[in-house]
């Protein structure tokens, strides 16, 4: 067995990773396990992108992210959901969404917020579409 000298900072990071690995696998892990996990489970990202993530976390502390790893895991989960066939996402300019939210609340609509309004409109149109299809089918049977 060879000995490898590491700095206190690296030792601290490896120890933290060992804790995570132990929690994930429910069994004790070694430094070798941690190093292998870093090699095989790591993703290399450009430093500029990591700096953006760290800056975002620092400037948006209210969002609850405490580490870049936590943020990146959440981003990957979101992209997997975004890319599946189960959901369709649309982009709305934030300014428009916030104005809609304000309008929905100030105009005392039956909706709680912009999201509720959007879902309500979708449901209304889908119900109207079902009625339209039934009428269309009735007309087809008559001819």
For residue 113, the model assigns a pLDDT of 95
112: containing domain: 108-142
Nearby residues of 81 by Cβ (< 8 Å), 6 or more positions away: 87
For residue 116, the model assigns a pLDDT of 96
Residue-wise pLDDT for 91-133, tens only, equals 999 999 999 999 999 999 999 999 999 999 999 999 999 999 9
Of 95, 113, 94, 116, nearest to 104 (Cα)? Answer: 113
Q: Is residue 76 part of a domain?
A: no
Q: Is residue 67 part of a domain?
A: no
Total domain count, the chain: 2
Q: Is residue 125 part of a domain?
A: yes
Residue-wise pLDDT for 12-65, tens only, equals 887 887 788 788 778 887 777 777 777 777 777 899 999 999 999 999 999 999
For residue 15, the model assigns a pLDDT of 82
Q: Is residue 83 part of a domain?
A: no
Q: Is residue 36 part of a domain?
A: yes
For residue 126, the model assigns a pLDDT of 97
Distance (Å, whole) CA 93 – CA 114: 13
Average pLDDT over residues 72-98: 90
Q: Is residue 5 part of a domain?
A: yes
Q: Is residue 35 part of a domain?
A: yes
Average pLDDT, the chain: 88
Q: Is residue 55 part of a domain?
A: no
- The pLDDT confidence band at residue 1, using thresholds 50, 70 and 90, is low
Residue-wise pLDDT for 91-101, tens only, equals 999 999 999 99
């Amino acid at each position: 067995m060879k000995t490898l000298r590491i700095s206190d900072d690296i030792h601290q990071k490896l120890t933290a990773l060992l804790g995570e690995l132990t929690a994930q696998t429910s069994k004790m892990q070694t430094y070798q396990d941690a190093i292998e996990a870093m090699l095989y489970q790591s993703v290399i990202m450009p430093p500029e992108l990591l700096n953006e993530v760290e800056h975002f976390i620092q400037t948006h502390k209210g969002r609850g992210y405490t580490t870049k790893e936590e943020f990146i895991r959440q981003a990957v989960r979101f992209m997997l959901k975004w890319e599946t066939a189960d959901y369709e996402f649309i982009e709305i300019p934030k300014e428009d969404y916030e104005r809609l939210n304000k309008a929905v609340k100030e105009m005392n609509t039956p909706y709680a917020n912009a999201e509720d309004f959007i879902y309500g409109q979708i449901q209304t149109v889908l119900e109207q579409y079902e009625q339209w299809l039934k009428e269309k089918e009735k007309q087809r049977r008559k001819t």
